[in-house]
Amino acid sequence: MTEALKDIVLDFEAAALRAVANGGKRPYVERAKKRADDKLRALKAGADADLLEAIFAAAIEIETKSKMALEAAT
């Protein structure tokens, strides 16, 4: 995974954890996921096969962590 992808995942994790720590507001978790998804989409343009695979892996990781954060928020 590239540094840019790692940064996107880490930024999402930090935002999701903040949302859960601050009362678990569902819209905050969803907004953090949307921002991460938008950043991944921007990287996707012109990506080679290896980068696309890494982008999809990051997207799966973000989706999984998003579900966990939403469960903790409810």
Model confidence at 15, pLDDT cuts 50, 70, 90, reads: very high
Model confidence at 46, pLDDT cuts 50, 70, 90, reads: confident
Average pLDDT over the chain reads 91
Q: By the 8 A CB rule, do 14 and 1 touch?
A: no
Model confidence at 7, pLDDT cuts 50, 70, 90, reads: very high
Q: By the 8 A CB rule, do 54 and 7 touch?
A: no
Does pLDDT of 69 surpass 80?
yes
CA distance linking residue 53 with residue 17, whole number of Å? 26
pLDDT of residue 55: 95
More confident residue, 4 or 46: 4
